[in-house]
Structure 1
Amino acid sequence: MPSAKPFLDPATGDPDTGRILSEAVPLAKLIGVFVAVSLVPFGFAFLAFGHSVLGVILTLIG
């Protein structure tokens, strides 16, 4: 018995945009949170600490 293909409307075979968006939007938000959090050390390294040793360390850690 073949399984139903995800993200396709079984009746028409067209992409189910509602389901695609319902899966993609939370995933995009989660990725955005991780990107925003990862930019904090880089922001400190480049803006606050400039060319100091601490700036280099934060850049390497981030």
Structure 2
Amino acid sequence: MPTDSDCLVLMELFDHGTEMDHENLTALTFVFLFLIALFYSIGVTVIKVLGSIPDLLCSCGKET
């Protein structure tokens, strides 16, 4: 037969479980936002580099 102390232990177990779920959600949100920022910065860099290639090719044949 369960006693009051058994119920208290079960309540503490479930209480910590919800905190861990909240911490995992926070960590996953951080990783998701980090990946978005990473891919955005890589994309912007690639677009800038590819956009400057025609300028480099056109300026090679010109004399100043």
**Does the pair score TM above 0.5?**
no
Write 1 or 2 for the structure with the bigger share of helix: 2
TM normalised by structure 2 equals 0.43
> Normalized against structure 1, the TM-score is what?
0.44
Q: RCO greater where, 1 or 2, for CA within 8 Å and sep 6 or more? A: 1
Between Structure 1 and Structure 2, whose CA radius of gyration is higher?
A: 2
